[in-house]
A = this chain, B = another copy of it.
């Protein structure tokens, strides 16, 4: 009997952990990091505040966990959509679309990551960098495929992918910066960014062409 409990408890515990994660995700995505309190998250689940601290050492860790959770979801989603695609340009387009989809969906969640004026907490920085690395690897992989199939000619994959990512990210930054007046960019504004990114990507890819 005791053994049975021992085997089951961890799973139940994990379930609670996930519940917290999901609940926090909803609140963070809707209200952002700073406008979400631990008390609210606890209340949503009828847990005590203290229980949150049993599963996560502090608010920032919880936020990081949520961020990581969403990023992973996104990565898997992209991987899935990417599977049947062979053409390089098409692959890039699909990635851009998916990413924009997630940014739209979780804007307030990511927003804290973007704006953080002060120096980012150690572990948040790690999550961000890790995410960037994954994107980087993905672009590298696509570039290599493109080279293998003879579509592209590239001397330095690592650097080229980084340049590509930077100019796309920068483009997003610069447009977002322009529309800072409203809290939340409109659909049209998101679409405008996406369109620019796509066009820019096309020229870039052609520039790498054989």
Q: Which of B174, B202, B204, B209 contacts A170 (CB 8 A)?
A: B174
Contacts of A168 in B (CB 8 A): 167
A96 sits at the interface (CB 8 A) = no
Which partner residue on chain B sits nearest A117 by CB separation? B180
A207 lies within 8 A of B203 (CB): yes
- Contact residues, A81-124 vs B (CB, 8 A): 117, 119
* A203-B208 contact in complex given A166-B174, A169-B170, C-beta closer than 8 Å: yes
Contacts of A205 in B (CB 8 A): 207
A163 sits at the interface (CB 8 A) = yes
Q: What does DSSP make chain A's interface, helix, strand, loop or mixed?
A: helix
- Contact residues, A148-201 vs B (CB, 8 A): 159-160, 163, 166-175, 177, 180-181, 196, 199-200
Docked CA distance A177–B169 (Å):
12
Docked CA distance A147–B87 (Å):
29
Docked CA distance A135–B32 (Å):
37
B167 lies within 8 A of A171 (CB): yes
Contact with B along A111-142 (1 / 0, CB 8 A): 00000010100000000000000000000000
The 7 closest A-B pairs by CB, nearest first: A170-B170, A207-B207, A167-B167, A206-B207, A203-B207, A170-B174, A170-B171
